[in-house]
Structure 1
Amino acid sequence: MLKSIAVTSSLTLAVLLSGCADTAETPNSPGAGTPASPGGTTAAGAFDCAPYEAFGDLKGTTVTVYTSIIAPEDQPHIDSWKPFEECTGVDVQYEGSKEFEAQLLVRVKGGNAPDIAYVPQPGLLQTLVKETGKVVEAPAETAANVDKHFDPAWKGYGSVDGKFYAAPLGANVKSYVWYSPKTFTEKGYEVPATWDDLMSLTQKIAADDANAKPWCAGFGSGDATGWPGTDWLEDMMLRTAGPDAYDKWVAHEIPFNDPQVATALDQAGAILKDPKFVNGGFGDVNSIATTTFQDGGQPILTGGCYMHRQASFYAANWPEGTKVAEDGDVWAFYLPSNNADEKPVLGGGEFVAAFADRPEVKAFQTYLSSAEWANEKAKSTPNGGWVSANKGLEIDNLVSPIDRLSAETLQDEKAVFRFDGSDMMPSKVGAGTFWKGMTDWITGKPTNETLDFIEQSWPQ
């Protein structure tokens, strides 16, 4: 889906920084002075090879991996596999392609499937399973890791018709509001704990500063223009209707133009369509449609606006030299819910799909679903730009403050995670009429007409 391509490109920008630095060896990596024996267990304190012995003697075998992540951003992934390769003797071969989403289905149908693919949307996984029949169910060892280390919702996103195929890999959090800690301190503003607090703050900023706006936003993204608006609606659905209604909406068990959806869109409109509140640094409400999502939050640095709702990967869009930290030039707070005791979290991620059931492939799937891999990947990404929803990930292994914040959000006991809705809808809707509908809505189309337009496009 183009939206996911747009989002992934932003996430890739974040990972880009990590790919440009040499990866330091870590104390618990077999490459750090502790020899590992393929098929055996390394010395005390080193990477534990024992979980992979059950798959037999794998020395001399090969596993191919196909992803959308290209050089140099691929290097942290390649480095994160070293303990597995040294333990097992498996040679993991990486192939990254800008044409991944267009070519994966073609390759699978044509008999040229990779052993493993990193799939960025549950919707694409569904298509691969149903249209090709070539996706192999995940082994029991992988399923056990997912049951142990992930919120149950993640296993559901990697399942099709009740069968578990793909373990989650990386993740991103979308329910954030970017702001300037320094400006908030100077103005005496506090980070809001509830939606009412957020609206009160919005109104106060509008009254206090005649030369700026409380919010800035951008829906522009080339052919994918409109996707940031879908995120706004999805976040509002989670807050006003709740996770259960959100699930029914995404699955079309309630129509797209259900009254609950209208309530959610109007709540987004209470900010985005009020000229007193937007669009700081760019113009009127209509300017949101033409302002790119990359530019959307930049006026926070120049005083044009105070807040910008965008995902964790937006950290990559600040100018070089910008300090992204709780005491820095910019930082992010959780987009509050109606109730401070509730914490719905909107996000995205990738999933590991296999097209072969050889022992070495199963062993590698199991490694990628483990807490050991999540921590190795964090250590292999020394400049940040990556996080996982794996609860075995040790937050101290993440060097980027925003990555640590994301991990803390995902691991919060109150957090109720839901995957980006448009990525799970039929592509005609999720990457088509939903984008267009949100663009038309922000430029003046009424809520009911917008939702009717999208509902009428849903495949029968």
Structure 2
Amino acid sequence: MKAQRIAAWLAAVVLGVSGCSASGDDAAVVTVLGPWTQDEQTAFLRVLDGFTRETGITVRYQGTRAQNQVLRGDLQQGTPPDVAVLSNPAELARYARSGELKPLDDVLGTEAAEAFSPQWLKLQQLGGTVGYAVAVKADLKSIVWYSPKTFAGPAPSTWDELVALSRRLAAAGQPPWCLGMGAPPNSGFPGTDWIEDILLHRAGPAAYRGWAAGRLPWTDPAVRDAWQRWGELVLAPGAVRGGSTAALLTTFSDAGKALFTAPPGCALEHLGSFAIGGYEHAGRPDRDFRFFPFPGAAGGPSEVSADLAGMFRDTPAARRLMAYLAGERGQRIWPSGGTTFSVHRRLLGQDVYGSDVTRRIAATLAGGTGLCFDASDLMPSAMTSAFYQAVLEYLAHPDRLDALLEQLERVRLGLPREQWLDLPC
């Protein structure tokens, strides 16, 4: 009997140690799925390293450009990451409706309300009243880049002035526009940014919001006008070196390199603030590259995008990471490299941003007024994919615009109303 009691006691001890070990592993490790690879991954790992130093919790990061597809597969298999970072709020909202994305109000507490503007808070609530996401980093899209060595100004403030500038450069033998559509698996997105910016600043925020929310048809004259205006600008003779064929074959990250060649291969590039990451290999902000607001954006609405972190497994480690990503210490690390921007208001006025270029961008983003979120990122994934593809087809066959818009309209009509996200703009 005594031997049996000892054996039972030993078994209990073994099971207890095993249980503590498993619980400890769960608490000490958090898994993260994100879109960043190569240099961006290295930069984000600095953020995660800061979290590990502060908490002792290990982070296992998986970076992939196909994070939406990977996350769907993981969820179907019942093995989601603890935290995933997506750029599509509509996709996150779908996971919130299904219960797969966990609410964050009791995770973040009151700090989020103090750190983020009401407009960013609304985005992070995914159109509802409960917080589900944290903007890990953001980008300003309503800007046009240039090198002071090639373009001395003055900056155009209206669409007609931008067209006139483009024509003057082309007539002088200088291709005005850097343009590249390649971005697997999202090739075409630089073109959607163009159309979104044109629509926002020609038709206004109300029309833009209705279109992004799936209420304004693709065949509406305001939408058609945005496509036509873009085509008139970038498809004009001499507007892009090599024409539309070159734009289709060039990756977006390579297109801007021509700003810095001798002689310059292009003079202007319409691309989000993330472009700085590529430009800094060729020069320094303020001295070698600057930007002017997209016509209509100065003092008006600006298009923005963001990478949003959501919690898919409610564990103590995941909670601590989400709080860290939303907090001042976590938000500070990545922007300190000079190529990434936070929407955390307390970082403004600190020594985070080291140039006039980056400070101007950060102030617009963190200010959080008059910001309109990237429309293609708000749309359901099926609509977004169709939009990307239509941009590529339009550059190859601009005479097919009406047919392309009708195809996009059929996609819109085929999507359930609950898949669309309506956010203030």
Q: One fold, TM greater than 0.5?
A: yes
- d(CA) in 1 for partners of 2:292 and 2:155? 7
- Confirm or deny that 1:437 pairs with 2:390: yes
What's 1:407 paired with?
A: 362
- Please state how far the C-alpha of 1:224 moved relative to its aligned partner: 3.5
Relative to total residues, which structure has the larger helix share, 1 or 2?
2
Aligned counterpart, 1:95: 61
- SS of residue matched to 1:418: strand
Task: Confirm or deny that 1:190 pairs with 2:154.
Answer: yes
Find the partner of 1:313 among 268, 271, 274.
274
User: Secondary structure in 2 aligned to 1:94?
Assistant: strand
- 3-state SS, counterpart of residue 252 of structure 2: coil
- Contact 1:217–1:293 (Cα < 8 Å) also in 2: yes
- What is the distance in 2 between the residues matched to 1:299 and 1:377? 27
Structure 1 position 146 matched with structure 2 position 122: no
Kindly state the Cα deviation for residue 126 of structure 1 after the two structures are TM-superposed: 2.5
Percent identity, aligned pairs only, is 26
- 1:30-109 equivalences under 5 Å are 61-68=27-34, 69-70=36-37, 73-80=40-47, 89-98=55-64, 100-109=67-76
Residue 85 of structure 1, CA deviation: 5.2
Closer/same/farther in 2, CA of residues 402 and 340 from structure 1, 3 Å limit: closer
Match of 1:15 in 2: none
Alignment correspondent of 2:250? 291
One-letter amino acid of the structure 1 residue matched with residue 114 of structure 2: K
Q: Distance in 2 between matches of 1:327 and 1:179?
A: 11
TM-score, with length taken from structure 1: 0.74
Determine helix, strand or coil for the equivalent of 1:183. coil
State the distance in 2 between where 1:67 and 1:198 align: 40
* Mapped contact 1:219–1:291 kept (Cα < 8 A): yes
1:181-216 Cα deviation digits (max 9, x unpaired)? 02223xxx3122333432332343344x1x223223
After TM superposition, the score normalised by the length of structure 2 is: 0.79
Task: Give a deviation string over 1:132-163, Cα, whole Å, max 9, x none.
Answer: x2221112462633332223333333334623
**Aligned equivalents of 1:146 and 1:289: distance in 2?**
41
1:406 Cα deviation from its structure 2 partner:
2.5
Residue 419, structure 1, aligned to residue 378, structure 2: no
**Residue 12 of structure 1 aligns with which residue?**
none
2:329 and 2:254 mapped to 1: Cα distance? 37
- Give the superposition deviation at 1:91: 1.1
**Cα distance change, pair 83–269 in 1 and its aligned pair in 2 (3 A):** closer
- Are 2:258 and 1:304 aligned? no
**Is 1:327–2:287 an aligned residue pair?**
yes
How far off its partner does 1:125 sit? 1.0
Distance 1:336 1:411, change over 3 A: farther
Q: Secondary structure at the match of 1:303?
A: coil
* Pair 1:404–1:452, CA change in 2 (3 A): same
Residues paired across the two proteins, number: 384
**In structure 2, do the counterparts of structure 1 residues 365 and 295 end up closer, same or farther at CA, with 3 Å as the change threshold?**
closer
The offset of 1:222, in angstroms, is: 5.0
For residue 370 of structure 2, give the secondary structure of its aligned residue in structure 1. strand
1:16-54 Cα offsets, whole Å, 9 max, x none, are xxxxxxxxxxxxxxxxxxxxxxxxxxxxxxxxxxxxxxx
User: In structure 2, how many angstroms separate the alpha carbons of the residues matched to 1:71 and 1:298?
Assistant: 18
Paired letter, 1:226: G
Partner of 1:264: 226
In 2: Cα distance, 1:437 partner to 1:83 partner = 42
Q: State how far apart, in whole Å, the 1-side matches of 2:249 and 2:50 are.
A: 47
Do the aligned residues in 1 keep the contact of 2:30 with 2:317 (CA within 8 Å)?
no
Distance 1:159 1:142, change over 3 A: same
Give 1:71 deviation, angstroms: 6.7
Distance in 2 between the 1:74 and 1:272 partners? 33
Q: Which amino acid aligns with 1:198?
A: L
Structure with max Cα Rg:
2
Q: Indicate how the Cα distance of structure 1 residues 115 and 319 shifts in structure 2: closer, same or farther if over 3 A, else same.
A: closer
Matched residues in 2 for 1:290 and 1:125: separation?
31
Alpha-carbon contact 1:139-1:362 (below 8 Å) kept? no
- The one-letter amino acid paired with 2:312 is F
Is 2:345–2:367's contact at 8 Å kept on the other side of the alignment? no
Change (3 A) 1:90 1:285: closer
Aligned residue type for 1:354: M
Paired residue type of 1:64: V
CA distance in 1, matches of 2:324, 2:158: 39
Matching residue of 2:299:
341
Alpha-carbon distance, 1:60 to partner: 10
Offset at residue 306 of structure 1 (A)? 1.7
Structure 1 residue 64: deviation in Å?
A: 0.6
Secondary structure of the structure 1 residue equivalent to 2:345: coil
Report Cα offsets for 1:269-295 as digits up to 9, x if no partner. 33123225x11x32x345433333233
Q: 1:143 to 1:165 in 2, by over 3 A?
A: farther
The amino acid of 1:323's aligned partner reads G
- Contact 2:27–2:315 (Cα < 8 Å) also in 1: no
Q: State whether residues 26 and 317 of structure 2, in contact with CA within 8 Å, keep that contact through their aligned partners in structure 1.
A: no
Runs of at least 5 residues in structure 2 that lack an aligned partner in the other structure: 1-23, 416-425
Question: How much does 1:346 deviate?
Answer: 1.9
Flag the 1:225–1:111 CA change in 2: closer, same or farther, 3 A: closer
Identify the residue that residue 232 of structure 1 maps to in structure 2: 194
Distance 1:303 1:77, change over 3 A: closer
Alignment partners' CA distance in 2, 1:336 and 1:221: 26
Relative to structure 1, is the Cα distance of residues 247 and 64 closer, same or farther in structure 2, using a 3 angstrom cutoff?
Answer: same
Contact persistence 1:257–1:455 (CA under 8 A): yes
> CA separation of 1:80/1:250 partners in 2, compared to 1, >3 Å: closer, same or farther?
same
1:250 to 205, 212, 231: 212
* Preserved CA contact (<8 Å) 2:29 2:317: yes
- Aligned equivalents of 1:286, 1:73: Cα separation in 2: 29
1:116/1:294 CA distance change after superposition, 3 Å: closer
C-alpha distance in 1 between matches for 2:48 and 2:256: 36
Measure how far apart 1:438 and its partner are.
1.4
The alignment partner of 1:304 has SS state of coil
- Mapped to 1, the partners of 2:207 and 2:184 lie a distance apart of 31
Equivalent residue for 1:397?
Answer: 352
